């Protein structure tokens, strides 16, 4: 079964508008971390934002915010005031077993969403 | 200077060649990773090193051979590859293996002909 599901292969948004990229995850662990990465055409994976499973507040980093709904196992990325430079692939990822007594697993990535910002 | 540097950025090699990919991180991290990114597929973890010791090998064929001489350098030695091995190979590092983000290099675009 897929651990990370991104159901939107491609999304379009008008410049200056907000956009939400969906991500759902599957884990039986209580302690885990959720990450979003951006991959422009140059190939580099750029870390955007992190949400811990025990964090009570949604994470925010500048124009990025993570809409964390633990009961629904969703961790959607919201980009406000889109810019042309936001056009890229966006990947949701999860790292499980973060408790100190257990060995942590590697980051597992979703299949990505290609975001295109229109002028 | 970027935190994680990969060389070369692009590589074309024949199926009988031997080549190596290099990754260097300047972040003081202890863990380093190799990922493979094929078209229309999620990133696939290949190898994990923590304090120079290999901690994971995700059933990667032996034609891929990693080497981690120290916590700052990671190599991927390639030999007798197949055309289906053509992909973007990404190196990453993190401070430990737990709830920390991984920082990625720009990748090596490998084409096997």
A 10 A CB-CB count for B22 gives 16
Segment A47-105, tens digit of pLDDT: 999 999 998 899 999 999 999 999 999 999 999 999 999 999 999 999 876 544 445 56
- pLDDT tens figures, B31-75: 899 999 998 778 888 998 888 788 777 789 999 999 999 989 999
Mean pLDDT, range B18-39, rounded to an integer: 93
Question: Mapped to the 3 state alphabet, what secondary structure does A32-61 carry?
Answer: EEEEEEEECCCCCCEEEEEEECCCCCCCEE
Average confidence (pLDDT) over A6-12: 95
From the list B41, B48, B104, the residue facing A44 with the nearest CB is B104
**C-beta separation of B20 from B13 below 8 A:** no
- Residues of A within 8 A of B45 (CB-CB) are 106-108
The rounded distance, in Å, linking the Cα atoms of A81 and A25 is 26
CB burial of A99-112 (b: ≥16 within 10 Å; e: otherwise) equals: eeeeebbbbbbbbb
Q: Give residue B20's pLDDT.
A: 97
In Å, how far is B53's CA from the nearest CA of chain A? 15
pLDDT at B99 over 80: no
Identify from B3, B88, B101 which residue to disrupt to test chain A contact, counting A C-beta atoms within 10 A and taking the largest count: B101
Res A1 pLDDT > 70: no
């Amino acid at each position: 079964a897929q651990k990370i599901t991104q159901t939107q292969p491609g999304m379009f948004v008008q410049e200056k508008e907000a956009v939400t990229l969906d991500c759902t995850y599957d884990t039986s662990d209580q302690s885990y971390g959720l990450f979003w990465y951006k991959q422009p055409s140059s190939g580099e994976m750029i870390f955007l934002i992190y949400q811990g499973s025990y964090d009570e507040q949604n994470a925010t980093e500048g124009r990025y915010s993570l809409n964390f709904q633990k009961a629904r196992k969703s961790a959607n990325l919201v980009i406000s005031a889109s810019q042309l430079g936001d056009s890229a692939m966006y990947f949701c990822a999860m790292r499980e077993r973060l408790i100190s007594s257990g060995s942590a697993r590697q980051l597992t990535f979703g299949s990505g969403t290609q975001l295109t910002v229109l002028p | 200077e970027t935190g994680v540097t990969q060389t070369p950025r692009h590589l074309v090699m024949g199926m009988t060649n031997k080549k190596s990919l290099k990754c260097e991180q300047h972040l003081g991290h202890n863990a380093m990773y190799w990922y493979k990114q094929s078209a229309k597929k999620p990133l696939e973890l290949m190898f994990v090193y923590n304090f120079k010791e290999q901690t994971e090998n995700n059933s990667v064929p032996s034609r891929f051979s990693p080497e981690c001489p120290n916590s700052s350098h990671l190599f991927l030695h390639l030999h007798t590859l197949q055309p289906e091995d053509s992909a973007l190979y990404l190196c990453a590092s993190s401070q430990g293996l737990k709830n920390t983000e991984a920082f990625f290099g720009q990748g090596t675009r490998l084409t096997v002909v």
